[in-house]
Amino acid sequence: MKRKIFWSFVSILLISSTLIGFLSVNLVNRSYTDELEKRLLTNAKLIATMIRSAEMDLDSDFFRTVIQEMAEEGEVRITIIDDNGYVMVDTRSETYEMDNHLDRPEIQAALTDSESGRVVRYSTTMNREMMYIALPIAMNEEKAYVVRLSMDLSDIDALTRNIVRYIAFSTLLGLLIALILGSKLIDRMIDSIRALVNMTKQMSEGDYDKRIYLDSDDELSELAEHFNHMAETLNQLIPQLSESNSRFQALLASINNPIIAVDPKESVILMNVAAEKFFNVSFEDVKKHHILEVVRNNEMDELIKRSLELGAENQFEINMKTPEEKVFRVYTNLIRKEDDPERIMGLVILIDDMTEVRKLEKVRSDFVTNVTHELKTPLTSISGFVETLKSGEIEDEDTKNRFLEIIEIETERLTRLINDILTLSEIENIKNKERTATFIPSKVFMEVENIMKPIALSKGIDFFTEIPGKLSFIQGNEDRMKQMMINLIDNAIKYTPGGGKVSLIVYERYDQLVIRVKDTGIGIPEKDIPRLFERFYRVDKARSKKMGGTGLGLAIVKHIVLSMAGKIKVHSAGPGKGTEFIISIPLHQ
């Protein structure tokens, strides 16, 4: 930059000096020439007056002496020509040796215009550049003369050359002085500019503590003051903005719902971590890209576009495959400019996964339907038999007793169903979490064995147990675990015919308590296994009701296992080949 300014400065000086010199030479030359012309014209008029007043004889010695003295004194050449162009008198040449001057430009101008003629031209007689002034002299109607004065212009040329030399010398001297002073000024200015550049560079790198102070009292010093003020302001604002941005980023990162912000052209301008994971993209890769490249769902794109076009906030539900089909509720909120609420800056899109909610709603609806159906059946039976007994039409005691037994059975079934519903509701109720404790499950298994073994033997079923004498602690509710084991073993006994076998095997492996309940009963078809733990789901509905089952036992087992952070699996080779339930519960560390 310094070199550019330096050479620009030199160029300006040279151009300005050259122009000034050229104009000065022209002005001096013009002034000198005009002055010379006036002097020649004055002398010409003097000679013309002398010739007209005295009517002197041009050939007289007196006249020639006077003319010669005037020429020598004025350092001019005087020539008198008649109207035919013949030279009558010449102070520097013999007249008989001179050509006819009628064709000379100054003579023609004087004779034609009846005024003085002025010409600067090269003289072949004198072999140099001359200035000619010709003035007509009217003597009478038949006679006229032209008096011509000429002067050598070599003096002007010499003067011009001297002026050029002086101007060149003064220009070079002034240029040298200007360069010395200008170089110092440029250095000082460049140093100030370089200091400002260094300051801006450090500010761009995040250092806002840098300040600059200049000694000069000019615009650069004022600019430095403004820079210092700007740095001070930025030094206060940047930490605030950084803290605000950090809080904003932390807030975005803490939100589990995917959030995307787009501009009015639907280009992505913001995305939180949840959205990156949900759509499996990186914000840096999709920044400024169209929203369709992120969501890859035309329905959502059309609804977002409509929200922007209408300038209205909206919410809608769509089905998406990610890869399994899910239900999402999408909220669109307009981004408005703070000082101009009518101006729409973009749109914020919040996505809420409603899949589980919709599933729960369906489960709740199915549960209500199933409960209604399950309650209606025994109630209808009880109501019918009660009406029959009340009518008095049945007189046979055995029939009455049989009816009462049926009412008792249905009542017990209804009681079991209600108890199971209450138990399941209690386990699922997150607002009333059960208190958990750390316990050794050996006692639970011994109590379950004592309860279930007589029941199995009464049906002719061999009940086999393999329980270690020493087990590690687990965490959970002891009563719930006992209920879980009773439900599982009771199920195994119910669906195992006489002569079969039910086994309970317990062991520890890989920090897990493993419980295996296996039977040789009717088995489960493979297609029914995925739905086995659903409420009121029965593989064989007629047989289940005959056995007195409510359809909630395995659902209760599953929820008790989950409450203990465990897992449950089912294996069955098919109908008639038995079933095995495997439960794993983490040991307490």
Would you state the pLDDT for residue 428?
A: 61
What CA–CA distance (Å, rounded) separates 266 from 286?
A: 12
What CA–CA distance (Å, rounded) separates 125 from 95?
A: 12
Q: Which residue has the higher pLDDT, 5 or 347?
A: 347
**What one-letter code names the amino acid at 434?**
E
| Average per-residue pLDDT for the chain | 78
* Residues whose CB falls within 8 Å of the CB of residue 524, separated by 6 or more in sequence, listed in order: 532, 539, 570, 572, 574, 575, 579
Least confident stretch, 71-80, 83-92, 376-385, 550-559: 376-385
501: nearest Cα among 467, 539, 456: 456
Residues 229 and 92 in one domain: no
Would you state the pLDDT for residue 478?
A: 85
What CA–CA distance (Å, rounded) separates 310 from 300?
A: 15
Residues 368 and 277 in one domain: no
Would you state the pLDDT for residue 358?
A: 74
Residue 42 in domain = yes
Residues 137 and 224 in one domain: no
Domain endpoint, select from 293, 327, 353: 353
* Residues whose CB falls within 8 Å of the CB of residue 374, separated by 6 or more in sequence, listed in order: 417, 536, 550, 551
Residue 187 in domain = no
What CA–CA distance (Å, rounded) separates 330 from 316?
A: 5
Residues 228 and 278 in one domain: no
Domain endpoint, select from 254, 277, 294: 254
How much is the average pLDDT of 258-270? 88
How much is the average pLDDT of 512-538? 81
Most confident segment among 165-169, 380-384, 538-542, 557-561? 557-561
531: nearest Cα among 521, 541, 546: 541
Most confident segment among 83-97, 194-208, 389-403, 554-568? 554-568
Would you state the pLDDT for residue 426?
A: 65
Q: Which residue has the higher pLDDT, 349 or 366?
A: 349
Most confident segment among 6-15, 104-113, 134-143? 104-113
Residues 59 and 85 in one domain: yes
Residue 172 in domain = no
Residues 481 and 575 in one domain: yes
In this prediction, residue 420 has a pLDDT band, given cuts at 50, 70 and 90, of low
How much is the average pLDDT of 470-479? 86
In this prediction, residue 515 has a pLDDT band, given cuts at 50, 70 and 90, of very high
The percentage of residues in the chain with a pLDDT greater than 70, rounded to a whole number, is 81
Residues 11 and 117 in one domain: yes
Asked if 75 and 151 touch (Cβ cutoff 8 Å), the reply is yes
How much is the average pLDDT of 545-550? 51
How much is the average pLDDT of 537-550? 52
Would you state the pLDDT for residue 430?
A: 46
Would you state the pLDDT for residue 29?
A: 75
The reply to whether omega before 497 is within 30° of 0 (cis) is no
Question: Does 360 score more than 50 pLDDT?
Answer: yes
How much is the average pLDDT of 393-397? 70
Would you state the pLDDT for residue 331?
A: 87
Would you state the pLDDT for residue 310?
A: 82
Least confident stretch, 36-40, 455-459, 505-509: 36-40
Would you state the pLDDT for residue 469?
A: 82
How much is the average pLDDT of 152-157? 72
Residues 343 and 396 in one domain: no
Residues 6 and 153 in one domain: yes
First to last CA, the chain: 74
What CA–CA distance (Å, rounded) separates 294 from 124?
A: 98
Round the CA-based radius of gyration of the chain to a whole number and report it: 62
Distances, alpha carbon 301 to alpha carbons 259, 271, 283, in Å: 15, 16, 18
Residue 462 in domain = yes
In this prediction, residue 518 has a pLDDT band, given cuts at 50, 70 and 90, of very high
Total count of domains within the chain? 5
Residue 532 in domain = yes
What CA–CA distance (Å, rounded) separates 583 from 555?
A: 14
297-332 pLDDT, tens digit each? 888 888 888 888 887 888 888 887 766 778 888 888
Write out the two tokens for 72: 């020598």
Instruction: Check which CATH number belongs to the domain holding 42 and give it.
Output: 3.30.450.20
How much is the average pLDDT of 473-493? 86
The reply to whether omega before 378 is within 30° of 0 (cis) is no
Write out the two tokens for 326: 């899910």
Most confident segment among 110-114, 116-120, 293-297? 293-297
Domain range enclosing 476: 434-586
How much is the average pLDDT of 19-30? 76
Residue 27 in domain = yes
In this prediction, residue 371 has a pLDDT band, given cuts at 50, 70 and 90, of low
Would you state the pLDDT for residue 544?
A: 47
Residue 171 in domain = no
Would you state the pLDDT for residue 506?
A: 92
Instruction: Check which CATH number belongs to the domain holding 457 and give it.
Output: 3.30.565.10
Question: Does 142 score more than 70 pLDDT?
Answer: no
Would you state the pLDDT for residue 542?
A: 43
Question: Does 585 score more than 50 pLDDT?
Answer: yes
Whether the model pTM is above 0.85: no
Angle at CA 75, nearest 5°, toward 153 and 70? 145
Least confident stretch, 141-145, 372-376, 553-557: 372-376
46-69 pLDDT, tens digit each? 888 877 775 566 777 777 788 888
* Residues whose CB falls within 8 Å of the CB of residue 264, separated by 6 or more in sequence, listed in order: 308, 344, 345, 346
Domain endpoint, select from 141, 159, 177: 159
In this prediction, residue 532 has a pLDDT band, given cuts at 50, 70 and 90, of confident
The residues facing 332 across adjacent strands are 314, 349
Question: Does 514 score more than 90 pLDDT?
Answer: yes
Please, where are the H alpha helices in 99-153? 105-113
- E-strand ranges in 289-386 read 314-321, 325-337, 340-353
Would you state the pLDDT for residue 464?
A: 92
Residue 179 in domain = no
Residues 7 and 83 in one domain: yes
Question: Does 373 score more than 60 pLDDT?
Answer: no
Residues 559 and 481 in one domain: yes
Most confident segment among 113-127, 361-375, 450-464? 450-464
Residues 71 and 151 in one domain: yes
